[in-house]
Amino acid sequence: MKITKLTFAMVTILCLLIFSAPTLNAKNISKKINYPAYMQGIDYGTEITYVIGHKPPDSDTICTAIAYANLKRKLGINCEARISAIPNAETAYALNYFEVPVPEILNNAAGKNIILVDHNSFAQAIPGMKDANILEIIDHHNLIGDVKTSAPVYYRNMPVGCTSTIVWLSYLESNVAIDKPMAGMMLSAILSDTDNLQSNTTTTLDRQAVDYLKKKAEIKDCKKYFLDMEEEFAAYKDMTEKEIFYSDYKEFESGGLKYGCATVVALTPEKRNNLKDKLDKWMKENFSNQKMDMVFLKIHDLETYTAEISAYGEGAQECAEKAFRVDADGHIYLNPNISRKKVVKFLNPVIKNFAEYNDFNKAA
């Protein structure tokens, strides 16, 4: 009886509170929350906080780091963008076009305040990251990571086409104006990561970001800007086969087997075929120097948006054929091209099965 009365009293008080307090409705609350308030639990200290992407750097990694460091500075945080190595031709084009200085290289993260962008694993991070003070992670990848932090972390991961789409959203949320160079950085990153919104990773939010940013960046023809940006990049000028192969390369693990996956781009199908032949030859000759059990190459062209997969190492071709459709001539085409994330998603279970089967055979 007592409990019923008490419950009744509590429900009554709660109802009174809800209906008598106009400030507690969702609309008013959303007005009061601002983006910097999410960050109040982070101790940025007095030292510089470095924003840095994965190695080797791509346009998302570099341009997003620049745009996010700029946002943090506008919010009063002592923040600077850093890079792990010199920018590739595509990123260099964007930096040059928007007259944004190339960030300094950070060789070791140990003891530094760090914000990671575009990755969430130590394997893809610069040296010393295990001993860094990681304060934030802004990313758009699956959680393959092993990153551990000593303090509660601001971790924002969204399934969108590019990290810059998240940073664009953060600018809007924090009500910070986007100037032309920063719009250019974010636009370049999104066009690069989504192949001018053609990639299957592209979301409506990426399209909205591009629509918004191209006006601020004063880019009338996005396709033209994208192809101009890619032309230098896809030419791989003055680069050796090795440099081309590793220009956009990531390492993974499945069932105890380590494998690498490189992505390479060409402007036309003819250029794709020529480049594939060159890279196949180089990797076959140099595979024994790799630390990987298997290596895969995905090469696509921007004209037809078709990709082809090459596989190197024991069992790699077998795994690739199981994971993807094989043409009568033995080529593995992806039409349309898919992201490396999707390629890895298809390869992972097949490689795991391959590893288990081989272990079973060894044991038997």
Residues found near Mn ion in the complex (CB under 5 A): 60, 118, 193
- Which residue, 118 or 230, has its beta carbon nearer to Mn ion? 118
- Which residue, 119 or 276, has its beta carbon nearer to Mn ion? 119
Rounded Cα–Cα distance for residues 310 and 236 (Å): 19
How near is the Cβ of 159 to Mn ion at its closest, in Å?
12
DSSP string, 47-103: SPEEEE--SS--HHHHHHHHHHHHHHHHTT--EEEEESS---HHHHHHHHHTTPPPP
How near is the Cβ of 118 to Mn ion at its closest, in Å?
4
- Which residue, 136 or 193, has its beta carbon nearer to Mn ion? 193
- Which residue, 120 or 348, has its beta carbon nearer to Mn ion? 120
Cα atoms in the Cβ-side hemisphere of radius 13 Å centred on 101: 7
Quickly list H helices, 134-291.
Answer: 163-174, 180-193, 204-216, 222-235, 241-245, 269-286
How near is the Cβ of 284 to Mn ion at its closest, in Å?
30
Rounded Cα–Cα distance for residues 62 and 41 (Å): 26
Q: What DSSP designation does 111 have?
A: T
How near is the Cβ of 138 to Mn ion at its closest, in Å?
10
How near is the Cβ of 165 to Mn ion at its closest, in Å?
10
- Which residue, 155 or 333, has its beta carbon nearer to Mn ion? 155
Dihedrals φ, ψ of 340, to 5°? -60, -35
How near is the Cβ of 53 to Mn ion at its closest, in Å?
8
Rounded Cα–Cα distance for residues 347 and 9 (Å): 59
- Which residue, 60 or 80, has its beta carbon nearer to Mn ion? 60
- Which residue, 118 or 301, has its beta carbon nearer to Mn ion? 118
AA identity, residue 201: T
How near is the Cβ of 168 to Mn ion at its closest, in Å?
13
How near is the Cβ of 162 to Mn ion at its closest, in Å?
5
CA 248 to chain centre: 12
Q: If we measure between CA atoms, which residue out of 117, 273, 94 comes closest to residue 184?
A: 94
How near is the Cβ of 161 to Mn ion at its closest, in Å?
8
CA distances from 42 to 203, 227, 262 (A): 30, 40, 36
- Which residue, 60 or 293, has its beta carbon nearer to Mn ion? 60
- Which residue, 138 or 316, has its beta carbon nearer to Mn ion? 138
Report the residue closest to Mn ion, judged by CB: 60
> What's the alpha-carbon Rg for the chain, to the nearest Å?
24
144-154 in b/e burial notation, b at 16+ Cβ within 10 A? bbebebeeebe
Rounded Cα–Cα distance for residues 253 and 297 (Å): 16
Q: At what angle do helices 59-74 and 163-174 cross, to 10 degrees?
A: 10
